[in-house]
Amino acid sequence: MGGLFTQGYNWLAQKIDHAIGWHKLPVPLGLMTLAGLRNILRERNLSDTYVGVRAAPGDGNHASRCPVARTADGTYTDLLSPMMGCAGTRFGRNIPLSAAYPDEAMVLTPNPRKVSRELLARDEFQPATSLNLLAAAWLQFMIHDWFSHGPNQKDNPWQVPIEHDDDWPNKPMTVLRTQRDTTRSGSEGLPPTFRNQESHWWDGSQIYGSSKALMHRARTGEQGKLRVDDNGRLPVDPDTGTDLTGVQGNWWIGLSLLHTLFTLEHNTICDQLHKLYPFWSDDEIYHHARLINVALMAKIHTTEWTPGILNNPTLRKAINGNWYGVLGKWLYTHFGRISANEAFSGIVGSHTDHFGVPYALTEEFVAVYRMHPLLPDEFEFRSWKDNSLLKKLTFPEVADKNARTLVEETALPDLFYSFGIANPGAITLHNYPRFLRHRREPDNSLIDLATTEIIRDRERGVPRYNEFRQLLHRLPVKTFEEITDNPIWARQIQEMYDNDINQVDLMVGLYAEPRPQGFGFSDTAFRIFILMASRRLNSDPFFTEYYTPAVYTPWGMKWINDNGMADLLTRHFPDLRPFLQHAKNPFAPWQTAAQSSTQAGASVPPVAQQEYR
**3-state helix/strand/coil string of 414-432:** HHHHHHHHCCCECCCCCCE
| pLDDT confidence of residue 516 | 93
**Pairwise CA distance, residues 329 & 324, whole Å:** 5
- Tell the burial category of 121 from Cβ atoms under 10 Å away from its Cβ (0-12, 13-18, 19+): middle
pLDDT for residue 602 is more than 60: no
Residues forming a β-bridge with 36:
none
As a whole number, mean pLDDT of residues 257-271 equals 98
**Mean pLDDT lowest among 120-124, 447-451, 580-584:** 580-584
Q: What is the pLDDT of residue 67?
A: 63
The arithmetic mean of pLDDT across residues 371-400, rounded, is 97
Q: What is the pTM of this model?
A: 0.93
| Of residues 183, 253, 203, the one with CA closest to residue 399 | 253
Q: Give residue 1's pLDDT.
A: 40
Residue 362 pairs in a beta bridge with 92
Cβ within 8 Å of residue 281, ≥6 positions away: none
**Euclidean distance between CA atoms 419 and 398, whole angstroms:** 13
CA torsion 569→573→579→580, rounded to 10°? 30
For the chain, the maximum distance between any two Cα atoms, rounded to a whole number of angstroms, is 73
Cis before 110 (ω within 30)? yes
Contacts of 332 (CB under 8 A, 6+ apart): 324, 325, 345, 346
Lowest-confidence region among 313-327, 420-434, 455-469: 313-327
What is the Cα gyration radius of the chain? 24
* Residue 52 confidence (pLDDT): 62
Cβ proximity of 365 and 385 under 8 Å: no
Distance CA 480, CA 500 (A): 9
* DSSP 8-state secondary structure symbol assigned to residue 226: B
The pLDDT score that the predictor gives to residue 335 is 66
Closest CA to 85 of 200, 250, 176: 200
In DSSP terms, which residues pair with 173 in a beta bridge? 160
For residue 540, what are the contacts with CB-CB under 8 A and spacing of at least 6? 77, 201, 202, 352, 359
Residue 356's pLDDT band (boundaries 50, 70, 90)? very high
The C-alpha atoms of residue 239 and residue 237 are separated, in whole angstroms, by: 5
pLDDT at 54: 54
Residue 383 has pLDDT above 60, yes or no: yes
Start-end of H helices in 116-226: 133-146, 205-208, 212-217
For residue range 28-64, list pLDDT tens digits in order. 999 999 999 999 999 999 999 998 665 434 434 444 4
Q: Is 325 left (phi over 0), alpha (psi -120 to 50) or beta?
A: left
Confidence of residue 336 (pLDDT cuts 50, 70, 90): confident
Which helix (H) or strand (E) segment holds residue 392: the answer is strand 389-394
**pLDDT (mean) for 568-572:** 97
Q: Is the pLDDT of residue 326 over 90?
A: no
Taking the CA atoms of residue 526, residue 532, residue 538 and residue 541 in that order, the dihedral angle to the nearest 10 degrees is -140
Phi and psi angles of residue 415, each rounded to the nearest 5 degrees, phi first: -65, -45
Q: How many CA atoms lie within 13 A of 564 on its CB side?
A: 14
Residue 609's pLDDT band (boundaries 50, 70, 90)?
Answer: very low
Exposure of 493 by Cβ count < 10 A (0-12 exposed, 13-18 middle, 19+ buried)?
A: buried
**How many angstroms separate the CA atoms of 175 and 406, rounded?**
31
Note if 144 is an active site residue: yes
Range 263-289 average pLDDT = 97
Distance (Å, rounded) from C-alpha 271 to C-alpha 269? Answer: 5
Cβ neighbors of 367 (< 8 A, separation 6 or more) are 456, 457, 460, 462, 506, 507
Catalytic residue among 18, 23, 62, 144: 144
The burial of 235, by beta-carbon neighbours within 10 Å (0-12 exposed, 13-18 middle, 19 or more buried), is given as middle
Tell me the sheet residues that pair with 175: 158
574 preceded by cis ω (within 30°)? no
Instruction: State how far the Cα of 92 lies from the Cα of 355, in Å rounded to an integer.
Output: 14
Residue 598 has pLDDT above 70, yes or no: no
Q: Please count the CA atoms within 13 angstroms of the CA of 608 that sit on its side-chain side.
A: 10
Kindly list the distances between the CA atom of residue 156 and the CA atoms of 138, 174, 175, 179, 197, in Å, as whole numbers in the listed order.
Answer: 35, 10, 9, 11, 22
- The model's pLDDT over 91-138, given as tens digits with 9 standing for 90+, comes to 999 999 999 999 999 999 999 999 999 999 999 999 999 999 999 999
CA angle 515, 520, 525 (to 5 degrees): 65
C-alpha 549/C-alpha 291 separation (Å) is 12
Q: What is the pLDDT, as a whole number, of residue 594?
A: 73
**pLDDT tens per residue across span 488-539:** 999 999 999 999 999 999 999 999 999 999 999 999 999 999 999 999 999 9
The predicted pLDDT at position 259 comes to 97
pLDDT in tens, 61-81: 444 445 679 999 999 999 999
| pLDDT at position 610 over 60 | no
Cα–Cα distance measured from residue 526 to residue 517, given in angstroms and rounded to the nearest whole number: 13
